[in-house]
Each structure stands twice: as C-alpha cells, then as structure tokens.
C-alpha cells in the first residue's frame, strides 16, 4: 500500500474517485426525499407522517456530524471512511426489510448517523496534502457533495419510478460496499497528527469555537446562506403547483437538475479560497444569493425567471459553502475534523431553521413573505462583514497569516 508520506499531492484521478464517493455518500440522504409517497403507501401511513422519515435522517446526520466526524482527529480517517460506507450500506438494507414503519424510522436515524463519509474524506485529504492546493481540491470534493444531492433526487426518482423504492436502496447499498472496498485497498493510512483522547476532543469543541474567529464567521455565513436557500426550496413545490403554473411534483423535482451549475461552481470557488481575497469572495457569494431573491420578486410568475432564480441561488449557495470550507481547511490541520464538524452542525441548523421559517413565510405571506425573509437572512452576514471592516477587524487565515483588506 502506498505510503501516506508520499501522498502530499493527491493524483487527479484519485481526487475524482473520492469526489464520486462523496456524491454517493451524500445521495443516501436524498433518495427517499423523492420516494416518500411510495414509502408511505408501502407502510400504509398518511403522507404527513411520511415526512418524519426525512426528519429522522436529518437528525441522525446532524448527530453524526457532531459526534462521529470529530473521531477523525483521534483515529485513522481512512478506517472511519470505510466504516461509514459499510454502515450506510447496512442501514439501507435494513430499511428495505423493516417490517414496520417505526422500525423504518429507526433505520433512517441510523442511516443519517452513518452517512458522514464525505465529511471525513474532506479533512482526510486536506490534512494529508500540501497546503497551497488545499482550496482547489476541497472545491473538487465539494463538487461531489453537491452532485450527491442531484444524484439522490434524480436517480432515486427515476429508478424508483421504473422499479420501486426498495430497488433504489439495494442498488445504493451495493455501490457503497464496492466503494468501501476501493477505499480500503487504495487509500493510505491517515498521516495527520492525532489527539490522544476522544473526550478531550469533544471538550475542546467549544474552546475551538471561541479561539477561531474564521470558524465563527464561516458558520454564520454558512448557516445564513443555507437558511435562505431552504426558504426558497422548501415552498417551491407549492409555487409550482399553484397559479399560474399548476405543475405536478415531478417538475419541482426536475428543478434540482439546475443544481449542476452550482456543483460546477464549487470547483471554481475552491481556487478562490486559496487566495488572499477569500473573505471578500465569500461575501460576493452571499450577495449573489441576495440578488436571486430580488430577481424572484421581479417576476416569479414567469417560468424563465423562476429558472434563473434557481440557477443564481444555487451558484451563490455552492460558492459560499465551498469558500467557507476552503477557509476552514487552512486552519490547524490537527483540528480539521472538529472544525468541519462544528461548521457542518451550524450549517445544518441554519438549514433546518430556513425550512421552518420558509414554510411559515409562504403560508402567511406567499412569495412576498419568502422574499422578505430570504433577503433579511442574507443581509445579516453582509452587515456583519461591513461592520468588521469598519472596525478594522482582521481574521486569521491560518496560524500564521491574516486576511488582507479586500
């Protein structure tokens, strides 16, 4: 097996294979999002109760980010990645044979908890390669994360339509098993310096949050962006099913294909995160998202405008996340798993808030309510950035550097 000390620059082929594995891992969380009605019918539960399945996955995923991803700072991440893929395959299989809906929910929680391979791969790579290329490679891996959402929705929908939802799970489980074998055989051991106690790692999470201003800022930027993203996406099916469109759910799902643009933007943004103006580009991504809500207000009742809004919002969102994680990857390598865990927990908490407030905004204010809430969420981090410039605050890029003025 290749020595870890030789893998300072990951070969491009290996980078893309790991990108594909990131996509397959993340897709686990989205197959059932488009299969909920079929699953509900299989277990004879009302559709409103079927939504609990996706909630359980998200809860499990958040717990995995908080408690499993930090294990990467204690143990060999290669072994953790293999374990994550194997456990995900196991829980996908359990879901196909669960005799009751209650047990299906338990398996969904387990699936979410174990689906953290992508968030282990990213710090594994960034901790085992030369620093000047970390941002670009992180962007490439995040392309896989973003495409995983698309793969889950599109592949889950089409395969589920041609066969059934259980076939989707069996195929996904088989692919994950093959991916686990590949990772076990091809990847070297993790050469990054490790901590000697998981308890100490968990206890150090809050001090890290206090000591790393870049981490606090990227969590704020990421949570606000994902919240605004969901303010648009969660009520989108209601917009498309109502006047003047009267489309079915299939059209709403097809809007996810536009997400390819955002996924491709991740690679470009990754290179930007290696530069001295990464923080400024971070804010530019937020302003791009803000513009999408302005565009929504200008003509949401025209399909072409709605498609343009989806495109601009997705590009801004993916750029924002890639820049955030690129900036985090330049911090202390010994803390990468914990830093990534804290960021992703904040990111998903922001997304959960956005899902809730977006639904409420549409219920009480229709599209106008969505626009107001989305603009407010995106204005807050921009105001924070401007205030920090006014106060001449400079945030460190890593242990030795500081961000230069924009």
* Alpha helix (H) residue ranges in 5-116: 12-27, 36-43, 47-67, 77-97, 101-114
Which strand (E) or helix (H) includes residue 284?
helix 278-299
Structural domains in the chain?
A: 10-189 (1.20.1250.20), 204-394 (1.20.1250.20)
Residues 217 and 282: their CA atoms lie apart, in Å, by 10
Radius of gyration of the chain (CA): 21
CB contact at 8 A, 358 and 231: yes
Taking alpha carbons only, the member of 228, 258, 262 closest to residue 361 is: 228
Beta strands in 165-251 (DSSP E): none
Taking alpha carbons only, the member of 326, 323, 312 closest to residue 262 is: 312
Residue-by-residue pLDDT tens, the chain, 406 positions: 444 444 455 777 888 899 999 999 999 988 887 677 778 788 988 755 666 787 788 788 888 988 898 888 888 889 999 999 999 999 999 999 999 999 999 999 999 999 999 989 988 887 777 666 666 777 778 778 878 888 887 787 778 878 888 999 999 999 999 999 999 988 887 777 787 788 888 888 888 888 888 888 999 999 999 889 988 877 776 787 778 887 755 566 667 677 666 666 655 655 665 556 778 888 899 999 999 999 999 988 888 899 889 889 988 988 888 888 778 877 777 777 778 788 888 888 888 788 778 878 887 888 999 999 999 999 999 998 888 777 655 545 444 443 343 4
Taking alpha carbons only, the member of 289, 189, 294 closest to residue 229 is: 289
CB contact at 8 A, 173 and 49: no
Q: Helices 77-97 and 165-186 meet at what angle, rounded to 10?
A: 160
Q: How far is the first Cα of the chain from the last one, in angstroms, to the nearest whole number?
A: 45
The pLDDT tens digits of the residues spanning 362-378 come to 878 889 999 999 999 99
Structure tokens at 3: 């020595």
**Total residue length of the chain:** 406
Q: Judging by beta carbons within 10 Å of its beta carbon (0-12, 13-18, 19+), is residue 12 exposed, middle or buried?
A: exposed
CB contact at 8 A, 395 and 220: no
The pLDDT tens digits of the residues spanning 64-87 come to 988 898 888 888 889 999 999 999
What's 188's DSSP letter? P
CB contact at 8 A, 295 and 308: yes
Task: Give 235's Cβ-side CA count (13 Å radius).
Answer: 27
Taking alpha carbons only, the member of 134, 226, 187 closest to residue 21 is: 187
DSSP result, 219-274:
HHHHHHHHHHHHHHHHHHHHHHHSTTT---HHHHHHGGGGHHHHHHHHHHHHHHTT
CB contact at 8 A, 351 and 59: no
Which pLDDT does position 406 carry in this prediction? 41
What's 44's DSSP letter? T
Which pLDDT does position 292 carry in this prediction? 94
Q: 3-state class of 380 per DSSP? A: helix
Which strand (E) or helix (H) includes residue 151?
helix 134-162
Which pLDDT does position 47 carry in this prediction? 53
CB contact at 8 A, 103 and 130: no
């Amino acid at each position: 097996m290749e020595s870890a000390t030789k893998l300072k620059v990951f070969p491009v082929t290996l980078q893309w294979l790991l990108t594909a594995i990131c996509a397959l891992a993340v897709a686990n969380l989205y197959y059932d999002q488009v299969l909920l009605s079929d699953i509900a019918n299989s277990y004879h539960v009302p559709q409103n109760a079927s939504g609990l399945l996706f909630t359980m996955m998200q809860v499990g995923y958040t717990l995995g980010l908080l408690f499993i991803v930090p294990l990467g700072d204690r143990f060999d991440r290669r072994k953790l990645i293999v374990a994550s893929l194997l456990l995900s395959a196991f829980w996908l299989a359990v879901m196909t044979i669960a005799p009751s809906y209650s047990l299906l929910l338990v398996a969904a929680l387990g699936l979410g908890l174990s689906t953290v391979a992508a968030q282990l791969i990213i710090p594994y790579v960034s901790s085992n390669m030369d620093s000047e290329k970390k941002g670009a490679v992180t962007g490439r891996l995040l392309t896989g994360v973003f495409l995983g959402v698309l793969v889950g929705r599109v592949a889950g929908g089409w395969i589920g339509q041609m066969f059934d939802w259980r076939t989707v799970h069996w195929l996904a489980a088989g692919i994950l098993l093959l991916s686990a074998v590949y990772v076990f055989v091809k990847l070297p051991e993790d050469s990054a310096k490790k901590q000697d106690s998981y308890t100490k790692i968990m206890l150090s999470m809050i001090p890290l949050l206090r000591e790393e201003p870049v981490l606090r800022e990227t969590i704020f930027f990421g949570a606000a962006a994902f919240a605004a993203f969901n303010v648009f996406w969660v009520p989108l099916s209601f917009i498309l099913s109502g006047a003047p469109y009267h489309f079915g759910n299939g059209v709403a799902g097809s809007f996810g294909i536009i997400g390819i643009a955002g996924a491709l933007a991740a690679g470009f943004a990754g290179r930007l995160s290696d530069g001295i103006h990464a923080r400024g580009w971070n804010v530019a991504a937020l302003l791009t998202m803000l513009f999408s809500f302005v565009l929504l207000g200008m003509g949401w009742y025209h399909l072409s405008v709605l498609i343009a809004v989806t495109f601009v919002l997705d590009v801004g969102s993916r750029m924002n996340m890639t820049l955030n994680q690129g900036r985090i990857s330049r911090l202390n390598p010994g803390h990468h798993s914990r830093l990534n865990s804290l960021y992703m927990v904040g990111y998903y908490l922001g997304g959960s808030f956005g899902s809730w407030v977006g639904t409420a905004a549409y219920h009480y204010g229709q599209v106008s309510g969505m626009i107001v809430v989305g603009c407010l969420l995106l204005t807050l981090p921009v105001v924070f950035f401007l205030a920090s410039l006014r106060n001449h605050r400079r945030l460190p890029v890593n242990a030795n550097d500081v961000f230069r003025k924009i």
